[in-house]
Amino acid sequence: MKVKLAAHSIHASPPWQRPGSAGAPFKRRCVKCACPVCARVEASLRYTGRVTPPRRRGNPVYSLTILIATGAITLLVGGAIGLLIGRRLSADGQRLRDTERKLDQMTQDKRAYENSVVEHFSQTARLLNTLTDSYRNVHNHLASGAETLCADKGPVSLERLQGGAEDDAEIPAHLAQIQPPLDYAPKTSPGEKGMLNEEFGIERQRKPVEER
């Protein structure tokens, strides 16, 4: 059975050339160019009077494989990009956290140092106050002891020491007649210096040196 359609000549494919299973749609094959022609050619010829070129359809299994491969590649690329961005953001966040931690540590150290300085000077002020109180207590104790133990017998003032004759009355009689000690060392001549003289014995030491 042979049908002439415009520029194409189609004939019915024998049963052993029909693609698909027994339930597949009946297809024709063009005799001139041997391209597969679907039954839509007959419908187009029936309603328009001319043959429309058939559209080629790719293998659906091959298209699905390409789609899956494309999706997998896209997923891998997106995952890699996301991982890089996440690592960079994580590194920046870690540096920011480290900086904040160091700043907090420095603030705590500065606060502790200020507290130590304040405590040191507070303790110094307390010790100075204690020392002042102790000095005041010692002064008061000495003053009260002087008033109690030295009543009417206070220390001799400078004016009284420079008074001269007035001071003789205060010096006891046995102390007023004290004379310097006499030099009882034997002398070979009247002009010889005594043993109590500062230059005694100097000439005697010089003579052996001159003899040498």
- Each residue's pLDDT, cut to its tens digit, for the chain (212 residues) gives 444 444 444 444 444 444 444 444 444 444 444 455 555 555 555 555 554 555 555 555 567 888 888 888 999 998 889 888 888 887 777 888 889 989 999 999 999 999 999 999 999 999 999 999 999 999 999 988 888 887 655 555 555 555 554 555 566 676 667 766 666 556 666 677 666 666 766 665 555 555 54
Its pTM surpasses 0.75: no
Are the CB atoms for 197 and 181 separated by under 8 Å? no
Are the CB atoms for 9 and 3 separated by under 8 Å? yes
- Please choose, from the candidates 40, 30, 34, the residue with its C-alpha nearest in 3D space to the C-alpha of residue 6: 30
- At 66 the pLDDT is 85
What residue ranges in the chain does DSSP mark as E strands? 2-5, 8-12, 28-30, 36-37
Q: How far apart are CA 167 and CA 150, in angstroms?
A: 19
